[in-house]
Amino acid sequence: MSDEHDLPEEPGMINIRNLSIRCGNCDTYQTLSHYQRRDDWNVYTFECENDVCDPAGTRTLLEVPVELDEFAHRDPTWHGGKVHAGADHADD
Ligand SMILES: [Zn+2]
């Protein structure tokens, strides 16, 4: 018996660009509208961009563990710019 078997494999990175977020109400793909860091999670907000849905009622919050978030790693500008200057302001 070895604990090694319980260790996870090297975790794969998650790139939200590889995901599709589709609305269960209007059946169309939602658009990334907002990004927010919450503790060890990157929280992406997706909303419907049409007149069918009220974004407030159908928006999706997608949470990705920071260490697995390939998208945020590759697009560090997401941390700055639009996001209100706050806690995690790292500039290179
Ligand atoms: Zn919708």
Contact 43, 61 (CB under 8 A): yes
**SS3 call for 4:** helix
Per-residue pLDDT of the chain (92 residues; tens, 9 = 90+): 555 666 656 668 899 989 999 999 999 999 999 999 999 999 999 999 999 999 999 999 999 999 999 988 776 565 544 444 444 444 45
- pLDDT score for 49: 93
Which residues are within 8 A (CB) of 92 and not within 5 positions of it... i.e. 6 or more apart? 76
Tell me the sheet residues that pair with 42.
Answer: 37, 64
| Ligand 1 centroid distance, CA of 19 (Å) | 17
Closest C-alpha among 58, 49, 80, 61 to residue 16 = 61
CA of 49 to the centre of ligand 1 (A): 8
pLDDT value of residue 73: 78
Burial class (CB in 10 A: 0-12, 13-18, 19+), 21: middle
Sole residue written with tokens 């793909």: 29
Using the mean position of ligand 1's atoms as its centre, give its distance from the Cα of residue 86 in Å. Answer: 31
pLDDT reported for residue 76: 57
- Structural contact between residues 42 and 62, judged by C-beta atoms closer than 8 angstroms: no
5 C-alpha to ligand 1 centroid (Å): 42
